[in-house]
Amino acid sequence: MAEDERSVVETDPQGVERILVVVAHPDDVDFGAAGSVALWRKAGIEVSYCIVTDGEAGGSDRTVSRRDMARLRQAEQRAAAAEVGVDEVVFLGYPDGRLTAGMALRRDVSRLIRQLRPDRVVCQSPERMWDRLGASHPDHLAAGEAAVCAVYPDARNPFAHPELLEEGLEPFSVPELWVMAMPDPTHVVDITDTFPRKVAALRQHRSQVGDGEWIEDRIREWAAEGARRAGLPEGRLVESFRVAHIS
Protein backbone atom coordinates (compact mmCIF):
# COMPACT_ATOMS: atom_id res chain seq x y z
CA MET A 1 0.00 0.00 0.00
CA ALA A 2 1.35 3.41 -0.96
CA GLU A 3 2.09 6.02 1.68
CA ASP A 4 -0.87 8.15 0.48
CA GLU A 5 -3.22 5.14 0.65
CA ARG A 6 -2.88 4.31 4.34
CA SER A 7 -5.71 2.53 6.05
CA VAL A 8 -8.49 4.41 7.80
CA VAL A 9 -8.26 4.05 11.57
CA GLU A 10 -11.70 3.41 13.04
CA THR A 11 -12.07 5.46 16.22
CA ASP A 12 -15.83 5.79 16.69
CA PRO A 13 -18.14 3.24 14.99
CA GLN A 14 -21.12 5.60 14.84
CA GLY A 15 -24.42 4.08 13.81
CA VAL A 16 -23.24 0.52 14.47
CA GLU A 17 -25.41 -1.26 17.02
CA ARG A 18 -24.97 -4.93 16.12
CA ILE A 19 -22.14 -6.89 14.50
CA LEU A 20 -22.13 -10.49 13.27
CA VAL A 21 -18.79 -12.30 12.93
CA VAL A 22 -18.75 -15.37 10.65
CA VAL A 23 -15.73 -17.71 10.74
CA ALA A 24 -14.94 -21.32 9.92
CA HIS A 25 -13.44 -22.66 13.17
CA PRO A 26 -13.28 -22.03 16.89
CA ASP A 27 -10.28 -19.68 17.48
CA ASP A 28 -10.50 -18.02 14.01
CA VAL A 29 -12.28 -14.94 15.32
CA ASP A 30 -9.77 -14.62 18.16
CA PHE A 31 -6.76 -14.68 15.85
CA GLY A 32 -8.37 -12.21 13.46
CA ALA A 33 -10.61 -9.83 15.37
CA ALA A 34 -10.86 -10.41 19.14
CA GLY A 35 -9.13 -7.11 19.98
CA SER A 36 -11.60 -5.22 17.81
CA VAL A 37 -14.51 -7.16 19.27
CA ALA A 38 -13.41 -6.18 22.78
CA LEU A 39 -13.41 -2.52 21.72
CA TRP A 40 -16.80 -2.79 20.04
CA ARG A 41 -18.30 -4.43 23.12
CA LYS A 42 -16.79 -1.68 25.30
CA ALA A 43 -18.59 0.83 23.06
CA GLY A 44 -21.88 -0.95 23.77
CA ILE A 45 -22.19 -2.70 20.41
CA GLU A 46 -23.85 -6.12 20.44
CA VAL A 47 -21.59 -8.76 18.86
CA SER A 48 -22.59 -12.30 17.87
CA TYR A 49 -20.35 -15.10 16.63
CA CYS A 50 -21.28 -17.63 13.95
CA ILE A 51 -18.81 -20.53 13.99
CA VAL A 52 -19.47 -22.64 10.92
CA THR A 53 -17.77 -25.86 12.11
CA ASP A 54 -17.15 -27.32 15.55
CA GLY A 55 -13.43 -27.70 14.86
CA GLU A 56 -13.44 -31.46 15.33
CA ALA A 57 -10.50 -31.94 12.93
CA GLY A 58 -8.25 -29.75 15.09
CA GLY A 59 -5.55 -30.81 17.52
CA SER A 60 -2.99 -33.59 17.18
CA ASP A 61 -3.97 -35.97 19.99
CA ARG A 62 -5.30 -39.11 18.30
CA THR A 63 -6.53 -40.53 21.61
CA VAL A 64 -9.25 -37.86 21.74
CA SER A 65 -12.40 -38.80 19.84
CA ARG A 66 -13.53 -36.31 17.25
CA ARG A 67 -16.85 -35.96 19.07
CA ASP A 68 -15.02 -35.06 22.27
CA MET A 69 -12.77 -32.65 20.39
CA ALA A 70 -15.82 -30.87 18.98
CA ARG A 71 -17.31 -30.49 22.46
CA LEU A 72 -14.00 -29.26 23.84
CA ARG A 73 -13.53 -26.69 21.09
CA GLN A 74 -17.06 -25.39 21.50
CA ALA A 75 -16.39 -24.90 25.22
CA GLU A 76 -13.06 -23.20 24.48
CA GLN A 77 -14.72 -20.81 22.02
CA ARG A 78 -17.43 -19.87 24.50
CA ALA A 79 -14.76 -19.19 27.13
CA ALA A 80 -12.76 -17.12 24.64
CA ALA A 81 -15.86 -15.15 23.69
CA ALA A 82 -16.48 -14.37 27.35
CA GLU A 83 -12.98 -12.88 27.61
CA VAL A 84 -14.02 -10.12 25.20
CA GLY A 85 -17.60 -9.73 26.41
CA VAL A 86 -19.47 -11.85 23.85
CA ASP A 87 -22.11 -14.26 25.06
CA GLU A 88 -23.93 -15.17 21.82
CA VAL A 89 -22.07 -17.92 19.97
CA VAL A 90 -23.87 -19.95 17.28
CA PHE A 91 -22.34 -23.16 15.94
CA LEU A 92 -23.67 -24.32 12.57
CA GLY A 93 -22.10 -27.80 12.84
CA TYR A 94 -20.66 -28.15 9.34
CA PRO A 95 -17.84 -30.71 8.93
CA ASP A 96 -14.38 -29.40 9.81
CA GLY A 97 -11.90 -29.73 6.95
CA ARG A 98 -14.58 -30.40 4.32
CA LEU A 99 -16.28 -27.04 4.11
CA THR A 100 -17.59 -25.72 0.80
CA ALA A 101 -19.41 -22.48 0.03
CA GLY A 102 -22.53 -24.30 -1.09
CA MET A 103 -26.11 -23.08 -1.10
CA ALA A 104 -26.91 -24.70 2.26
CA LEU A 105 -24.18 -22.72 4.02
CA ARG A 106 -25.15 -19.52 2.20
CA ARG A 107 -28.74 -20.08 3.33
CA ASP A 108 -27.75 -20.71 6.95
CA VAL A 109 -25.61 -17.56 7.15
CA SER A 110 -28.38 -15.61 5.41
CA ARG A 111 -30.80 -16.91 8.04
CA LEU A 112 -28.63 -15.51 10.83
CA ILE A 113 -28.31 -12.19 9.05
CA ARG A 114 -32.08 -11.92 8.68
CA GLN A 115 -32.56 -12.91 12.32
CA LEU A 116 -29.95 -10.59 13.81
CA ARG A 117 -30.09 -7.75 11.25
CA PRO A 118 -26.48 -6.62 11.84
CA ASP A 119 -25.11 -3.24 10.83
CA ARG A 120 -21.79 -4.92 10.04
CA VAL A 121 -20.71 -8.44 9.10
CA VAL A 122 -17.10 -9.47 9.73
CA CYS A 123 -15.80 -12.52 7.87
CA GLN A 124 -12.70 -14.29 6.62
CA SER A 125 -11.18 -13.63 3.24
CA PRO A 126 -12.34 -15.76 0.31
CA GLU A 127 -9.01 -14.98 -1.36
CA ARG A 128 -5.86 -17.00 -0.71
CA MET A 129 -2.88 -15.16 0.81
CA TRP A 130 0.22 -16.62 -0.79
CA ASP A 131 2.61 -14.85 1.58
CA ARG A 132 0.76 -16.19 4.66
CA LEU A 133 -0.76 -19.46 3.54
CA GLY A 134 -1.70 -20.45 7.08
CA ALA A 135 -4.35 -17.73 7.05
CA SER A 136 -5.90 -19.31 3.96
CA HIS A 137 -7.12 -22.69 5.18
CA PRO A 138 -9.64 -23.99 2.60
CA ASP A 139 -12.36 -23.82 5.26
CA HIS A 140 -11.52 -20.14 5.81
CA LEU A 141 -11.91 -19.46 2.09
CA ALA A 142 -15.22 -21.32 1.97
CA ALA A 143 -16.64 -19.60 5.05
CA GLY A 144 -15.53 -16.24 3.67
CA GLU A 145 -17.10 -16.88 0.27
CA ALA A 146 -20.37 -18.05 1.83
CA ALA A 147 -20.50 -15.01 4.12
CA VAL A 148 -19.83 -12.60 1.25
CA CYS A 149 -22.56 -14.26 -0.84
CA ALA A 150 -24.96 -14.17 2.10
CA VAL A 151 -24.35 -10.45 2.58
CA TYR A 152 -24.73 -9.81 -1.14
CA PRO A 153 -27.04 -10.83 -2.63
CA ASP A 154 -28.72 -13.59 -0.61
CA ALA A 155 -29.85 -12.00 2.67
CA ARG A 156 -31.35 -8.99 0.91
CA ASN A 157 -33.03 -10.90 -1.93
CA PRO A 158 -36.57 -12.07 -1.15
CA PHE A 159 -36.31 -14.67 -3.90
CA ALA A 160 -33.11 -16.25 -2.58
CA HIS A 161 -33.71 -19.17 -0.21
CA PRO A 162 -37.53 -18.93 -0.28
CA GLU A 163 -37.68 -21.21 2.75
CA LEU A 164 -36.45 -18.28 4.84
CA LEU A 165 -39.54 -16.29 3.90
CA GLU A 166 -41.61 -19.31 4.90
CA GLU A 167 -39.88 -19.10 8.29
CA GLY A 168 -41.05 -15.50 8.59
CA LEU A 169 -37.60 -13.99 7.96
CA GLU A 170 -37.82 -10.87 5.84
CA PRO A 171 -34.86 -9.77 3.67
CA PHE A 172 -32.23 -7.54 5.25
CA SER A 173 -29.48 -5.46 3.65
CA VAL A 174 -26.19 -5.37 5.56
CA PRO A 175 -24.58 -1.91 5.18
CA GLU A 176 -20.94 -2.94 5.77
CA LEU A 177 -18.76 -5.99 5.19
CA TRP A 178 -15.42 -6.18 7.01
CA VAL A 179 -13.04 -8.87 5.71
CA MET A 180 -10.08 -10.19 7.72
CA ALA A 181 -6.73 -11.40 6.36
CA MET A 182 -6.76 -9.42 3.13
CA PRO A 183 -3.47 -8.37 1.52
CA ASP A 184 -4.54 -4.72 1.03
CA PRO A 185 -6.57 -3.62 4.06
CA THR A 186 -8.49 -0.37 3.93
CA HIS A 187 -9.29 -0.01 7.65
CA VAL A 188 -7.57 -0.81 10.93
CA VAL A 189 -8.76 -0.88 14.51
CA ASP A 190 -6.25 0.22 17.15
CA ILE A 191 -6.32 -2.64 19.67
CA THR A 192 -3.39 -1.50 21.82
CA ASP A 193 -5.61 -1.18 24.89
CA THR A 194 -7.51 -4.41 24.31
CA PHE A 195 -4.53 -6.50 23.21
CA PRO A 196 -4.38 -8.30 26.60
CA ARG A 197 -8.02 -9.37 26.14
CA LYS A 198 -7.18 -10.75 22.70
CA VAL A 199 -4.30 -12.76 24.15
CA ALA A 200 -6.49 -14.02 26.98
CA ALA A 201 -9.12 -15.15 24.47
CA LEU A 202 -6.55 -17.02 22.38
CA ARG A 203 -5.15 -18.77 25.43
CA GLN A 204 -8.57 -20.29 26.08
CA HIS A 205 -8.02 -22.47 22.99
CA ARG A 206 -5.70 -24.82 24.85
CA SER A 207 -6.41 -27.78 22.56
CA GLN A 208 -4.83 -25.73 19.74
CA VAL A 209 -2.24 -23.45 21.35
CA GLY A 210 -1.10 -25.54 24.33
CA ASP A 211 0.05 -23.39 27.22
CA GLY A 212 -0.04 -20.36 24.90
CA GLU A 213 3.37 -19.00 25.92
CA TRP A 214 4.20 -18.19 22.31
CA ILE A 215 0.91 -16.46 21.54
CA GLU A 216 1.60 -12.97 22.86
CA ASP A 217 4.87 -12.43 21.01
CA ARG A 218 3.56 -13.84 17.72
CA ILE A 219 0.37 -11.83 17.74
CA ARG A 220 2.12 -8.67 18.89
CA GLU A 221 4.51 -8.97 15.93
CA TRP A 222 1.63 -9.22 13.45
CA ALA A 223 -0.33 -6.39 15.09
CA ALA A 224 2.70 -4.09 15.23
CA GLU A 225 3.46 -4.69 11.56
CA GLY A 226 -0.12 -3.79 10.68
CA ALA A 227 0.20 -0.57 12.69
CA ARG A 228 3.45 0.32 10.95
CA ARG A 229 1.86 -0.19 7.53
CA ALA A 230 -1.08 1.99 8.59
CA GLY A 231 1.28 4.79 9.62
CA LEU A 232 0.58 4.60 13.35
CA PRO A 233 3.25 5.50 15.93
CA GLU A 234 5.69 2.97 17.32
CA GLY A 235 4.11 0.85 20.02
CA ARG A 236 0.59 0.79 18.60
CA LEU A 237 -1.12 -2.48 17.67
CA VAL A 238 -3.91 -3.01 15.16
CA GLU A 239 -6.19 -5.52 13.51
CA SER A 240 -6.64 -4.95 9.79
CA PHE A 241 -9.67 -5.30 7.51
CA ARG A 242 -10.80 -4.61 3.98
CA VAL A 243 -14.15 -2.84 4.16
CA ALA A 244 -16.91 -2.86 1.57
CA HIS A 245 -19.81 -0.44 1.92
CA ILE A 246 -22.85 -2.00 0.27
CA SER A 247 -25.43 0.23 -1.38
Rounded mean pLDDT of 26-35? 98
Separation between Cα atoms, residue 78 and residue 92, nearest integer Å: 14
pLDDT digits (tens, 9 = 90+) for 124-142: 999 998 888 878 899 999 9
- Is 7 a member of any domain? no
The domain that holds 158 is classified in CATH as 3.40.50.10320
Dist. CA 71–CA 73, nearest whole Å: 6
pLDDT value, residue 135: 80
What local confidence, expressed as pLDDT, does residue 5 receive? 55
pLDDT confidence tier of residue 102, bands split at 50, 70 and 90: very high
In a domain, 152, yes or no: yes
- Specify the pTM: 0.95
Residue 4 lies in a domain: no
Q: Could you list the residue range(s) of the whole structural domain that residue 146 is in?
A: 14-245
The rounded distance, in Å, linking the Cα atoms of 61 and 226 is 34
User: How many domains is the chain partitioned into structurally?
Assistant: 1
Domain assignment present for residue 2? The answer is: no
Q: Angle of helix 138-151 relative to helix 103-116, nearest 10 degrees?
A: 50
Residue 118 in any domain: the answer is: yes
CA 54 to chain centroid, in Å, comes to 15
